[in-house]
Amino acid sequence: MKARVFVTLKNGVLDPQGEAIRHALGTLGFEGVEGVRQGKVIDLDLAETDPDKAQAAAQEMCEKLLANTIIENYSVEIL
């Protein structure tokens, strides 16, 4: 079973990479971009065949390793 994890910074947390992207877009002529927030996508191939168990396992992975839950939000999608 496949799971896709989306990790993004929480609102209010400074995003220097997002700001660098916004600035670079402006220098390339893309006007009107007022803000950029960047994140990461992690694809997992799991041996689990039960979608509920796969969801629970992926969430536990996020809590323990994949996301810094102090400053990041995450969501899990079972594919």
Average pLDDT over residues 5-22: 96
The sign of the torsion formed by the CA atoms of 13, 39, 66, 47 equals: positive
The pLDDT tens digits of the residues spanning 16-67 come to 999 999 999 999 999 999 999 999 999 999 999 999 999 999 999 999 999 9
Nearest to 19 by CA among 36, 31, 39: 36
Nearest to 3 by CA among 40, 50, 46: 46
CATH number, position 38 = 3.30.1280.10
Range of the domain at 54: 2-78
Any residues with CB less than 8 A from the CB of 17 and at least 6 apart, and which? Answer: 38
CA separation for the pair 60, 45 (Å, rounded): 15
pTM of the predicted model as reported, rounded to 2 decimal places: 0.85
Number of domains in the chain: 1
**What DSSP state is assigned to residue 48?**
-
